[in-house]
Structure 1
Amino acid sequence: MRIQPSQSVDNTSYQYYVDLLQLVLDTTSDEYGPADIVTLESSLSQSRGFFMLKNEQLDVYWAGTSIARERDYLAVTVPLVGGLLGNRVPVIMRNRLSEFAKITTAEQLQKMVACQGSQWPDSDILEFNGYRVERVISFSLMYTMLEQQRCDYFPRGINEAHAEVDTQGHETLMVYDELILRYPLPMYFFVNKQNLLLAQRLTEGLLLLVNNGKLTEFIMHHPTTASIFPLSRYQHSRVISLENAILPANVVERAHNNWIGFPKE
């Protein structure tokens, strides 16, 4: 089972998806047989990862969904982190805390510049909603640019931010979780359109984990995501809701039974 490598040592959430994929494969091994995960060596941009998936050089690729991605690939439509990914918190420089503490409206935040992945759906979503975005091709470079104050903040999913900022070398950064940018963006496993058997295996495995409660348990106890619970800690955060214009029309409906994140508005 060929998968993408981590984009950077800062990308601590990578291991979450590897471990979840292994759990799904183990859960379905009696019916489908054993499977070994093989990680490719070279780091991939999202466009390169999807290109390799289309050309059968990768077997599984995980990413936020979009209309175009579900058109061109088979999406396993079970959100891998429930509703958490679309709740973004700014990673900021510690010395700018007082500045961000004064932000109470979307208009104030729109004057600032967000570092964001050049090929991530998030960049399109932010720009569609009137936010200024510095598109960056390299994951690790985004944190470097933030530390060099070449952008003002780096929006990360609440399931990602704390684990990444806690890595060595980010002492000047902090997660400002008093402010949440919220938009629907489920993270899915994607496979080649011809690989129907693998899509079926991943779907069955994930749905089994949802129905027996083990996916929620996995999210709540994995080292990458455990520190964000209980979610009640965010009940007093200021929430700015954004529209996701590239979201497939039925995505919220299909996610209804698999949603463990914040209550839908």
Structure 2
Amino acid sequence: MPGSFPEALDHMLSNRLSARSKQGAKALTTTLISILILLLGALIVQPRLGQRRLFIDDRHVLTPVEVEALPAGTLPVVLDRRLGQTETSFAYRLLQLVMERSGEPYAIGFSSEVFPQDEVMNALASGLQKGDHNSTGITVGAYGAGVQLNRRLRPIRIPISGGLLGLRAGWTNASQQPLLAEVRDLKDLRQLLLIQGLGWSDVEILDAAGLRTYTTAPHYLFRLLENQRVQLFPRGIAELEGESQEVHRSGREIVLDPHLLVTYPFAGFFYVSPANPRLAKAIETGFERAIADGSYQALLEEVIFTPWLRRHLKLRDRQVIHLRNPEAALALADVDPRHWIVPWRALDQKQITRGSQLCALPRLRELCL
């Protein structure tokens, strides 16, 4: 204990200064931690915000300002861009091809941002290319065909990939392959547990066929396969190669099932505003010409019928199980039979039950070499 008042005063002041120093240090530490949290938050959030413009060259973007500056008579062809799409994506390259064949003056590019799909559809339905109701500037979208959508927007009734979206092979756990090898028909398939993403349109088709389908968030899909909680994850054949890298990261036990091909009528159309008949006519005319001169088939074989897909799909050896899709049948009723690559009528009538029969068709032959 201090023995005098000065000593006591010095001791008290020293304690107060020490306490203040501790409080100051504590406040400084708290401030630094807060700043660090904000910086980390910014680093986490910024890529999410930046996803709207990632992975695409600005040369392939057509902004509303650029659309305004186009010469009179030039068609603005602004494709609604989805996350992950680039100028090498099939829908974009096909749209380029059909506009080249259309004979119309045009400027083409992706939308400047990835907008919510409902927002884009509302904008297209508004009938305006710009203004308060269509600030996106988007003039064309590539969407799965549907009865309600066909009424709301103006479809170009030529399937974007000829119906290939309806050919489904599945990822599975390697341990489940003997079980899948025993599946011969729809009755057998109903004994398995399938998986799809939440909100996917495929779920309604699978449910209508009496299949047991578990749904979950996309980031859990491969994990549940790895853990053998489900037996099959059907995917469109054009999606398989892009997913193979994710499969490789997810685990060594996930493989592409070599036995089954599940099929159901499913297709995508290009859609434009009902108030934009000139663009609709240009896309339809260009598409017809690209089919007639063989350039559409060549693009399909280059982008979708890749060496990877031919090597891994092994279409010739697969058992075909066909499901009905009444909703799609109505939406696709007006498609010219010449525009289908997939023979839906023969599949619906059970005339095709093996992949080897699909391989015998001229427009699918390249997929089997």
Q: Which one-letter code corresponds to 1:212 in the other structure?
A: D
Kept after mapping to 1: 8 A contact 2:159/2:267: yes
Q: Whole-Å Cα distance in 1 between the matches of residues 139 and 255 of structure 2? A: 36
Q: Whole-Å Cα distance in 2 between the matches of residues 220 and 248 of structure 1? A: 26
Residue of structure 2 in register with 1:82 after alignment: 162
Gaps of 5+ in 2: 1-76, 127-133, 347-369
In the TM superposition, 1:39-188 aligns within 5 A as: 39-42=111-114, 44=116, 47=118, 50-55=121-126, 56=134, 57=136, 58-136=138-216, 138=218, 142-143=221-222, 146-147=225-226, 151-166=230-245, 169-170=249-250, 172=252, 173-188=254-269
Q: Whole-Å Cα distance in 2 between the matches of residues 103 and 50 of structure 1? A: 40
Q: Whole-Å Cα distance in 2 between the matches of residues 117 and 49 of structure 1? A: 22
Q: RMSD in angstroms over aligned alpha carbons?
A: 3.2
Q: Whole-Å Cα distance in 1 between the matches of residues 88 and 225 of structure 2? A: 21
Q: Which one-letter code corresponds to 2:328 in the other structure?
A: L
Pick closer, same or farther for the CA change 1:133–1:60 going to 2, 3 Å.
Answer: farther
Gaps of 5+ in 1: none
Q: Which one-letter code corresponds to 1:22 in the other structure?
A: Q
Alignment pair present for 1:201 and 2:282: yes
Instruction: From 65, 74, 78, give the equivalent of 1:2.
Output: 78
Q: Deviations over 1:64-122 (max 9, x none)?
A: 21222212221111111113221111122334323322322323322433333444432
Pick closer, same or farther for the CA change 1:263–1:73 going to 2, 3 Å.
Answer: closer
Q: CA deviation at 1:34?
A: 2.8
Q: Whole-Å Cα distance in 1 between the matches of residues 181 and 241 of structure 2? A: 18
Give the structure, 1 or 2, with the largest relative contact order (CA under 8 Å, sep 6 or more).
1
Q: Whole-Å Cα distance in 2 between the matches of residues 48 and 118 of structure 1? A: 20
Pick closer, same or farther for the CA change 1:113–1:68 going to 2, 3 Å.
Answer: farther
Q: CA deviation at 1:215?
A: 0.9
Q: Whole-Å Cα distance in 2 between the matches of residues 7 and 95 of structure 1? A: 33
Q: Whole-Å Cα distance in 2 between the matches of residues 13 and 262 of structure 1? A: 30
What SS does the aligned partner of 1:103 have? coil
Residue of structure 2 in register with 1:256 after alignment: 337
Pick closer, same or farther for the CA change 1:233–1:112 going to 2, 3 Å.
Answer: closer
Q: Which one-letter code corresponds to 2:105 in the other structure?
A: G
Pick closer, same or farther for the CA change 1:137–1:171 going to 2, 3 Å.
Answer: closer
Q: Whole-Å Cα distance in 2 between the matches of residues 72 and 144 of structure 1? A: 38
Q: CA deviation at 1:242?
A: 0.6
Kept after mapping to 2: 8 A contact 1:62/1:189: yes
Q: CA deviation at 1:151?
A: 4.4
Pick closer, same or farther for the CA change 1:207–1:32 going to 2, 3 Å.
Answer: same
**Aligned residue pair count:** 257
Pick closer, same or farther for the CA change 1:65–1:102 going to 2, 3 Å.
Answer: same
Q: CA deviation at 1:244?
A: 0.6
Kept after mapping to 2: 8 A contact 1:47/1:119: no
In the TM superposition, 1:179-258 aligns within 5 A as: 179-222=260-303, 224-227=304-307, 228-229=309-310, 233-249=314-330, 251=332, 254-258=335-339
Q: Share of identical aligned residues, percent?
A: 22
Q: Which has the higher helix share?
A: 2
Q: Deviations over 1:47-72 (max 9, x none)?
A: 55534543544322212212222122
What SS does the aligned partner of 1:27 have? helix
Q: Which one-letter code corresponds to 1:256 in the other structure?
A: P
What SS does the aligned partner of 1:127 have? helix
